[in-house]
Structure 1
Amino acid sequence: MGKTKVEKIVEDLVQPILKKEEFELVDIEFKKEGPHRYLRVYIDKPGGITLDDCQKVSEQLSEKLDETDPIEENYFLEISSPGLDRPLKKDSDFEKFKGENVEVRLYEAIDNKKVIEGELLELKDNIIKLNISEIGLVEIPREKVAVTKLAIKF
């Protein structure tokens, strides 16, 4: 699914802020939930994001959004870390998390499974390659994937 116009505008506004602070943009969502709209910006850095980091970005981005006023309706701005089960969206995410356990949720089942978990080997030619302990190498076309995220082990 592609980015909305608002998400593209916000990405252009937030990138210089994140570059200056040496943070990474993980994702942007502009969603309606119940009667409210939310603009969520997920950021990260090595070692993780703190509340102070979120506040710093929130203040700077709020100022830019007030100046340019690209969003007509009312919304809540949220700056957040991607969490432990961080989604992998960009090609660079797949490269960065090679060797990690991931959970791949599919649009339609493959071998009667809609959720596949295994070690991320690589993303190449839009094919996600996993090593699954019970069966070995599994190759999943990216277009069949609803979401790929880091798997949490307790």
Structure 2
Amino acid sequence: MVQAKNQALIDLVQPIIDEQGLLLWDLSIKKVAGQKTVELLVDLPAHENISMAQITTFTQAVNEALDGAAVDPVPGEYMLDIASPGMDRSLNEPWHFAWAKEAGNPITIALFAAKDGQKKWTGLIKAVDEKQLVLTVDGEDKSFSWDEIAKAVVSI
């Protein structure tokens, strides 16, 4: 869950996100080739594509907020990477699946173990709840528990 990853950083960027009318899709802090990287994926909330100009404006505001913060929300040296989640975005949070369902986007899921002889399934989301995901695949509804799903992306 994005909120649990780094609340201090979220507290710093959320007012900027709200002010600019953006949507925080994901936030991660990871090591890439020995370099700590803070990645923020932002988009527009109404299934529109964010522009490079909007990402640039957001990046500048975040940099200013980080530079002016009394306490650095990400201790140590790091690289800041701000981007769009892309058309084939990963679906990690329950609301990501609701977003894809609302947009009518087909998704592809990869399972940890094969189900009905397949490890990958592509279809439209019929239902999402706290226990499972239901996809309509070739006119047939298939249910998957969250524990079965290794990865999910919007299928383009």
Quickly name the TM-score band, shorter chain normalised. 0.7 to 0.9
Aligned residues: 150
Question: Partner amino acid for 1:147?
Answer: K
Match of 1:95 among 89, 92, 98: 98
Match of 1:123 among 111, 124, 128: 128
Overall identity of the aligned pairs, in %: 25
**5+ unaligned residues in a row in structure 1: which ranges?**
none
1:70 is aligned to 2:73: yes
Instruction: Give the structure 2 partner of residue 86 of structure 1.
Output: 89
* Aligned-residue offset at 1:123: 0.4
Contact 2:112/2:150 (8 A) holds in 1: yes
**5+ unaligned residues in a row in structure 2: which ranges?**
none
* Aligned-residue offset at 1:3: 5.3
CA deviation map 1:47-105 (0-9, x unaligned)? 21111111111111122222131222211111111101012233332222223210112
Question: Partner amino acid for 2:60?
Answer: E
> What is the CA–CA distance in structure 1 between the aligned matches of 2:127 and 2:112, rounded to whole Å?
20
1:48 is aligned to 2:52: no
* Aligned-residue offset at 1:35: 1.9
Question: Partner amino acid for 1:48?
Answer: N
CA deviation map 1:101-122 (0-9, x unaligned)? 1011222322332221111112
Contact 2:112/2:149 (8 A) holds in 1: yes
CA deviation map 1:115-135 (0-9, x unaligned)? 2111111202321000110x6
> What is the CA–CA distance in structure 2 between the aligned matches of 1:130 and 1:109, rounded to whole Å?
16
CA deviation map 1:21-44 (0-9, x unaligned)? 111110011111112121110011
Select between 23-32 and 140-149 the one with higher mean Cα deviation: 140-149
> What is the CA–CA distance in structure 1 between the aligned matches of 2:145 and 2:26, rounded to whole Å?
22
Instruction: Give the structure 2 partner of residue 147 of structure 1.
Output: 151
Change (3 A) 1:6 1:120: closer
> What is the CA–CA distance in structure 1 between the aligned matches of 2:92 and 2:14, rounded to whole Å?
17
Select between 4-13 and 121-130 the one with higher mean Cα deviation: 4-13
Question: Partner amino acid for 2:49?
Answer: G
CA deviation map 1:5-27 (0-9, x unaligned)? 66332222211111111111100
> What is the CA–CA distance in structure 2 between the aligned matches of 1:87 and 1:6, rounded to whole Å?
17
Q: Secondary structure at the match of 1:56?
A: helix
> What is the CA–CA distance in structure 1 between the aligned matches of 2:144 and 2:61, rounded to whole Å?
40
